[in-house]
Amino acid sequence: MNEQSSTQPTKKVIDYFSTKESKWGYTLFLKGTKHFGYYPEGKENISISEAQHLMEAKLAEKLSLPAESLVLDAGCGEGKVAIYLAQKYGYNIKGVDLLDFSLQKANEEITSLGLSNKIEVKQGDYSKLEFADNIFDGAYTMETLVHVANYTDALKGFYRVLKPGGKIVLFEYSLRNWDKLTLKQQEMGKLIIEESGMHALPHFQDGTFEILLKETGFTNIFIEDATQRIMPMLKIFYKNAVVPYQIIKLLGLQKKFVNTTSAVEGYKMIQTGNYGSYNIISAIK
């Protein structure tokens, strides 16, 4: 797959999350939490909120850090993950995000919950971290590294700011068997990737993360394919989107409603086993 052609990758990401469709979906449907849920085998019918908390618990399990550890939330959004980790595990969190409106909501909730001494969020591009070297015990991304055009710079930045022995955990997508998709499926896949501002995803093939992390200097790399554990949530998205998508498709408005398009076309492509994977990746500096 060809590299993204956007000359303003950061603006593309901001524009994507600023659309009415994205704001409606993430705010009303997901209550501001911008990541998938984890559905253990046999618990495919739990609520979206419970599944999302289980994904956050999975993050804490992979970080495996003591209370009061300092952790970087790269792409913190409205601070939902940071709040969960601070309340349940006692972590101190510093979050970075591009979006003003998300950070405003994050700060409002952090203040209302009395967590200002535990969580600090700021606007910025986390591929250009301004923190000092060797200060964080852990760092994580929750489905945000795919949006970073300078993903190698981001990984190098994580390595720099982590203490020796510090842990990195990435919850990210990768592509799989792209050439086995039909031309129409490839066309839809490219549309979804480009209009969602997922600049790095074309470079994230299955197996790529291990190579990238090794090249950056990380060791003890472990990658879990959790694709099947998010499928119940994808199915919910599909069922809610399939009817309105017929109108969107008829009018040729897939680019304008990329989340609805992804909910239908992406779900069908993932079911073929040839579109993508959902990975939980951990490594140590």
Alpha helices, DSSP H only, in the chain? Answer: 9-18, 20-24, 48-63, 80-89, 100-112, 151-161, 183-195, 208-216, 227-250, 258-261, 267-271
CA distances to 201, 215, 281 from 126, rounded to whole Å, are 17, 19, 18
> How much is the CA Rg of the chain, to the nearest whole Å?
18
Give the model's pLDDT for residue 7. 42
Q: What is the pLDDT of residues 186-242, one digit of tens each?
A: 999 999 999 999 999 999 999 999 999 999 999 999 999 999 999 999 999 999 999
Q: Does pTM top 0.85 for this prediction?
A: yes
Give the model's pLDDT for residue 6. 38
Q: What is the pLDDT of residues 18-38, one digit of tens each?
A: 999 999 888 877 888 999 999
Q: What is the pLDDT of residues 67-101, one digit of tens each?
A: 999 999 999 999 999 999 999 999 999 999 999 99
Amino acid identity for residue 227 in this structure: T
Give the model's pLDDT for residue 3. 40
Q: Is 13 exposed, middle or buried (0-12, 13-18, 19+ CB in 10 A)?
A: buried
Mean pLDDT within 149-155: 97
Give the model's pLDDT for residue 9. 82
Mean pLDDT within 171-192: 95
| Domains of the chain and any CATH numbers | 9-284 (3.40.50.150)
Q: How confident is the model at residue 258 (pLDDT cuts 50, 70, 90)?
A: very high
**Is 2's pLDDT higher than 70?**
no
Give the model's pLDDT for residue 1. 47
Mean pLDDT within 103-130: 97
